[in-house]
A and B are shown apart, each in its own frame.
Chain A
Amino acid sequence: MTGIIVPTRRNLRALHAGIFPPEFELAFSSATKRLARQVEALRHQRSPTSRDQQALPRKDLAERLFDALASAKQLTASVAMYLDPARRDRLLRHLDSLHDLAEWEEDNEPLQQSSFATFLKAMLAVNPERQPGLGLSHAGHLIGAWTTDRDRLTIEFLPNDWVKWVLARYNKEDDEPRRFAGQTPVSELTEGLTPYQPEYWFSHEQGRQRQESPR
């Protein structure tokens, strides 16, 4: 039997929270439902060291970097089955590189676990073919950067499932950039980027075509 499911505000809210309303039970595979619940579980996880950090004197820098990396790797492991091994290894390498003590600028915060959880949710939802270059804000928010020629998309992964993004695309006619920015829940990231052709940033093929086309 087939039928049409009409999305309502209530059942969309439930889906964003990883809950499948009865009318949706048949529409999604068990794997999809399991993935949504697992990602949602990240929202409530606490770092094993977070309580210690509140109670104990401030740790030295090397320990704080180590703890931040350990927490990020633990979160990554919890969704590892949904990540291509090569991508997962690259991600972990990049996180190591961002927390290199020799490169670290004093007074910066290491990666915040809640920001990294938002990043993982975004990557699982968007599943970009092109992975981002990674950076960190002063506050320890992970930053993802996609660059095609001179065009740039930058996403800051905020705590509590929010993302802030800005993109610049150069107009072929006048060679001037057009800039757009937004701030949305991570569950609405794809929707927010839809007017700006997400595949242009996230697909290898689209990026290649742009780079090869005459300006």
Chain B
Amino acid sequence: MNKGGKGKNLPDEDEVIRYVPWTRLRKDEDENVLGFLPHAFQLRPDEDYLSINWLQYHDGDRETQIRLSVWAIRDTFEKPLGAKSAFAIGNVAQIKKTCQACGSRVRVVHEPEPNNPGHSAIRQLPRDDLTLLEALASDAFTERVNNIDIHAKF
């Protein structure tokens, strides 16, 4: 497979996926999951960019692309991801549009890693703009896939 390339912009029509732990899922008072908290997209102090995976890096139908991306993300963690965690999926153009509406021009680029070749990044994301993070959580990353719904690699 020879797609993208380090630092290249991802196509606007493509999608990206991000791991969201249980602590940053939006829940109601009975712990029913409703979506994502703004903090699911917040940079850590030592991060320069927000880590994501490029769905269309993988060939196959969308279901296959999601499954292969989830497997790749799982492989980057030392311990198994929690059964209650989830993944957020967003369209590249919508992510850029949402950030621009909040005054930030971000880049969504391919940043392949040896053990995760579909790894990508949202660069120039402001560190602590809660309004922008809220917009990403509600308007850009609009689809949720539960970790438990993707079976393990055989």
Q: Taking the complex as formed, is B71 at the interface, i.e. its CB lies under 8 A from any CB of chain A?
A: no
Determine the distance from Cα of A164 to Cα of B139 in the docked complex, in whole angstroms: 21
Which residues of chain B are within 8 angstroms of A164 by Cβ–Cβ distance?
Answer: 130
Q: Taking the complex as formed, is B104 at the interface, i.e. its CB lies under 8 A from any CB of chain A?
A: no
Out of A106, A135, A150, A181, name the residue touching B37 (CB < 8 Å): A135
Determine the distance from Cα of A79 to Cα of B88 in the docked complex, in whole angstroms: 37
Kindly provide the distance from the CB of B101 to the nearest chain A CB, expressed in whole angstroms.
10
Interface of B (DSSP majority class) = mixed
Kindly provide the distance from the CB of A77 to the nearest chain B CB, expressed in whole angstroms.
21
A97 close to B31 (CB less than 8 A): yes
Determine the distance from Cα of A106 to Cα of B35 in the docked complex, in whole angstroms: 22
Determine the distance from Cα of A137 to Cα of B42 in the docked complex, in whole angstroms: 9
Q: Taking the complex as formed, is A125 at the interface, i.e. its CB lies under 8 A from any CB of chain B?
A: no
A166 close to B38 (CB less than 8 A): yes
Q: Tally B residues with Cβ within 8 Å of A.
A: 31
Given A100-B82, A103-B84, A138-B42: A145 in contact with B27 (beta carbons within 8 A): yes
Determine the distance from Cα of A3 to Cα of B25 in the docked complex, in whole angstroms: 50
Determine the distance from Cα of A105 to Cα of B79 in the docked complex, in whole angstroms: 9
Residue-wise, chain A 73-105 has the 8 Å CB interface mask toward B (1 for contact) of 000000000000000001000100110101111
Query: How many residues of A sit at the interface, in one of the four size bands?
Result: 35 or more
Q: Taking the complex as formed, is B150 at the interface, i.e. its CB lies under 8 A from any CB of chain A?
A: no
Residue-wise, chain A 100-118 has the 8 Å CB interface mask toward B (1 for contact) of 1011111110000000000
Seen from chain A, the residues whose Cβ lies within 8 Å of a Cβ on chain B are 90, 94, 97-98, 100, 102-108, 130-138, 143, 145, 147, 150, 152, 154, 156, 164-166, 168, 177, 179, 181
Seen from chain B, the residues whose Cβ lies within 8 Å of a Cβ on chain A are 21-29, 31, 34-35, 37-39, 42, 44, 77-79, 82-85, 130-131, 133-135, 138-139
